Structure 1
Amino acid sequence: MNRVLGNITNLHQYNLQQNHLVQMCGSKDLFCDRYRILRILGRGGFGITFLAQDAMLPGNPLCVIKQLCPKVASAKTWQNACQRFEKEAKTLAKLGSHSQIPMLLNYFEGNGELYLVQEYVRGYTLAREVKQNGTKTETEVKQFLQELLPILHYLYQNQVIHRDIKPQNLVRCADDGRIVLIDFGAVKEQLADICINSVHQAQTNFVGTMGFAPPEQFSLRPVYASDIYALGMTCIYLLTGKSPVELENDSQTGEIRWLNDVNVSHNFARIISKMVKMSLDERFQKPQDVIKALNLATDLPNLSDCLTSKPLSTRYQTKVETTDSYLPSVARTAIAIREWKAKLKQRSV
């Protein structure tokens, strides 16, 4: 990646109206002789995101260009920014092999700004989906978790923390309905670390979203469980239609009070509540822990059926006593549980 210093002083006076990509929106001019800038998709404290077309490829496919504008004070800090940016960009390129993470197409530097070019996912965010169609049911949110938790597990295996999971960063693909996780905060956090020292440094360096980010993330110490917290808060948003800042906190514990706004089973409520525990020690630590808890909760109704007080049918009793032929797993489990309970009862007599 070329590292031309460019005009560093302009980065301190970040002005949307003076941004050259903003000025190119809708024009026929090509950025870097390749990209036609169509419009702004979003903006934040670290830069602007644009929708563009790649004029070099057949069919001029759509792509997303993220212009990152780190605030640096010297050539040395700019070199550090470029090095960290390149490292994180390579990580994003590796992650992009997953079907639910946008593919990184290119990354480069120019005129004191850093650029990521990523696959454009045609669809709509879960935030928009809830606003248009209303809140989700417990079954729908469980399905959502079954789709998202494997992504978090994939990030965990690659030692990556997303840092900004929220409904606005989850896009339902219009082509096949899959949910795609966008806007990784890792690059932004690395760039924030090299920003110039100022009175507002703590605010500048925070990467995440108020309400969806857990306490340790505000202390600039995110861990894998931080993404679990954000995912849990996203589930609560899907169930209630309310952002975390709209919900009350328990005056005793500080935990979010959300159960009064929904109708969910006790087991599912327990899982979500553990995902959003303020204390790291009480929260799920890894995505796999949540997956196991969900699978157990799903199997509980079947287990309850096995524990029924009704006697087994004579067909199953006869088979148990007279033959070794196949029995359904539910029947075998029921028999084992009954035998175990009978032994416990005998011991207590």
Structure 2
Amino acid sequence: MSYCLNSNCPKPQNPEESKFCLACGTELLLKNRYRALKPRGLGGCSRTFKALDQERKHPCAIKLFLLSPEQDQEATELFKQEALQLYELGKHEQIPEFYAHFEQNHRLYLVQEFIDGLNLREEIEQQGTKSESQIREMLVDLLPVLQFIHQQGVIHRDIKPANIMRRRSDGKFVLIDFGVAKRITATVLLGKETMIGTLGYAPAEQLESGNAYPNSDLYALGATCIHLLTGKHPFELYNPIKGCINWRENLPQKQKISPKLGKILDKLIQPFTKDRYQSANQVLEDLNQPEIAPKITFPVIIPYSASVRYPTQSVLGKLLISKRGVDCTRLRNLIAARKRTEEKTHKKILAVLRQKRQGYLNNENSKKFSYQKLHTLSRRWTRFGLKTFAE
């Protein structure tokens, strides 16, 4: 099927080999080469179509720029400048390659690589929210792409789930729709770049004044992560009183986020640019830092003393109750009755404790011993021999 690119056409579907639209007479082939097959996306300033390059017999995507060149010559010049820049970006494997840009029938067009797959908005609608591991996977895959475009002096300005696609062939994330049409339209019609981006994803400096920086894209990426984790649009989660996005309270039940990732997301979506990450590489560095294990404090091992004094008969006749109410009388009496044998056992316990503390025991041997139990027994032993029985 061929699809007519005339936005006012009453019946845009046409037979596959048609050269002109049967309903409105519009020429269906662009540059006598590119044939639109079906609509794929509709934006405020552009429309995207899945298409076929009949010369190469290869799928492609056509982007129609809705502002007519006749409306302002400046739009055409800006369009050409932006298109040349996008040719350079298309050298990255996770950015669609640009094939052509031209004017036909008083319209401007871009032709680029067709990405076969779903965007993240479609994924979340079909599959539900993402887990922490999936968010980490996406960040590790996409942050180098952002670092690349920022080094080229380009800011995407419209990062959101709909503009991130997962390529079906290899599972890689691809960044699409660099908003050329939005920037040109805003510049030509409004005299400045303003309200470029999507509410909820774009930061305040971008929406209010049109100013955008590399970490404006990072803010949008953070807001995208929050949408994928909670299933809710970031605009719904915004608290105007606190001036922040309350995302933790809106996580699905049983969804747990590590303190490390939570801290990264919080820094990505800081309202002031100075408080955010300044580059995509900084985010990657924090993301790749190993989790800091909690510091384990080992209890002090009381060294063995050969001069342990054992209880007298008068002491043996008394009950020995611990502070927690445990009757330790039997243990005390057994130790007292087996003096020499138990001294050797005590030495062995202390040796094992030292080895465990210094990390000398291998995994197989360490499973045979409970550090806490051995330590408790050693403490009891010493207490019965040195303190209680010396009284």
- TM-score w.r.t. the length of structure 1 is 0.75
State the SS of the aligned residue for 1:52. Answer: strand
Once residues 108 and 68 of structure 2 are traced to their aligned partners in structure 1, the CA distance between those partners, rounded to angstroms, is 11
Q: 1:103 to 1:110 in 2, by over 3 A?
A: same
Give the structure 1 partner of residue 296 of structure 2. Answer: 308
Give the structure 1 partner of residue 176 of structure 2. Answer: 182
Equivalent positions of 1:100-249 (< 5 A) are 100-195=94-189, 205-218=194-207, 219-249=209-239
Once residues 91 and 260 of structure 2 are traced to their aligned partners in structure 1, the CA distance between those partners, rounded to angstroms, is 34
Give the structure 2 partner of residue 52 of structure 1. Answer: 51
Deviations along 1:227-261, one digit per CA (max 9) or x if unpaired, are: 0000001100111111112214151x311111112
State the SS of the aligned residue for 1:39. Answer: strand
Once residues 117 and 98 of structure 1 are traced to their aligned partners in structure 2, the CA distance between those partners, rounded to angstroms, is 17
Once residues 217 and 24 of structure 1 are traced to their aligned partners in structure 2, the CA distance between those partners, rounded to angstroms, is 41
Q: Does residue 1:291 correspond to 2:337, yes or no?
A: no
Once residues 19 and 173 of structure 1 are traced to their aligned partners in structure 2, the CA distance between those partners, rounded to angstroms, is 33
**Greater Cα offset, 226-235 or 40-49:** 40-49
Q: Does residue 1:282 correspond to 2:275, yes or no?
A: yes
Give the structure 2 partner of residue 333 of structure 1. Answer: none
Contact 1:248 1:257 in 2 (8 A): yes
Once residues 25 and 50 of structure 1 are traced to their aligned partners in structure 2, the CA distance between those partners, rounded to angstroms, is 16
Q: Which amino acid aligns with 1:61?
A: H
Give 1:69 shift: 2.1
Once residues 227 and 233 of structure 2 are traced to their aligned partners in structure 1, the CA distance between those partners, rounded to angstroms, is 6
Q: 1:133 to 1:156 in 2, by over 3 A?
A: same
Once residues 219 and 61 of structure 2 are traced to their aligned partners in structure 1, the CA distance between those partners, rounded to angstroms, is 28
Bigger RCO (CA 8 Å, 6+ sep) = 1
State the SS of the aligned residue for 1:278. Answer: coil
Runs of 4+, deviation exceeding 4 Å: 22-27, 71-74
Q: Does residue 1:254 correspond to 2:243, yes or no?
A: yes
Give the structure 2 partner of residue 61 of structure 1. Answer: 58
- The percentage of counterpart residues that share the same residue type is 38
Q: Which amino acid aligns with 1:308?
A: I
Give 1:274 shift: 0.8
Once residues 83 and 69 of structure 2 are traced to their aligned partners in structure 1, the CA distance between those partners, rounded to angstroms, is 19
State the SS of the aligned residue for 1:300. Answer: coil
Give 1:23 shift: 6.6
Contact 1:72 1:194 in 2 (8 A): no
Q: Which amino acid aligns with 1:242?
A: K
Contact 2:120 2:161 in 1 (8 A): yes
Contact 1:67 1:113 in 2 (8 A): yes
State the SS of the aligned residue for 2:49. Answer: strand
Contact 1:25 1:38 in 2 (8 A): no
Q: Does residue 1:17 correspond to 2:8, yes or no?
A: yes
Once residues 268 and 143 of structure 1 are traced to their aligned partners in structure 2, the CA distance between those partners, rounded to angstroms, is 12
Q: 1:121 to 1:72 in 2, by over 3 A?
A: closer
Q: Does residue 1:38 correspond to 2:26, yes or no?
A: no
Once residues 205 and 109 of structure 1 are traced to their aligned partners in structure 2, the CA distance between those partners, rounded to angstroms, is 26
Paired residues, number = 286
Q: 1:19 to 1:112 in 2, by over 3 A?
A: farther
What runs of 5+ residues in structure 2 fail to find an aligned partner?
Answer: 1-5, 20-28, 299-356, 363-391
Q: Which amino acid aligns with 2:195?
A: F
Contact 2:70 2:106 in 1 (8 A): no
Larger radius of gyration: 2
Contact 1:35 1:52 in 2 (8 A): yes
Contact 1:189 1:206 in 2 (8 A): no
Once residues 133 and 358 of structure 2 are traced to their aligned partners in structure 1, the CA distance between those partners, rounded to angstroms, is 31
State the SS of the aligned residue for 1:194. Answer: helix
What runs of 5+ residues in structure 1 fail to find an aligned partner?
Answer: 1-14, 317-349
Give 1:270 shift: 1.1
Once residues 248 and 166 of structure 1 are traced to their aligned partners in structure 2, the CA distance between those partners, rounded to angstroms, is 16
Give 1:110 shift: 2.1
State the SS of the aligned residue for 1:132. Answer: helix
Deviations along 1:185-244, one digit per CA (max 9) or x if unpaired, are: 24531343122x5xxx78x95321111111011121111111000000110011111111
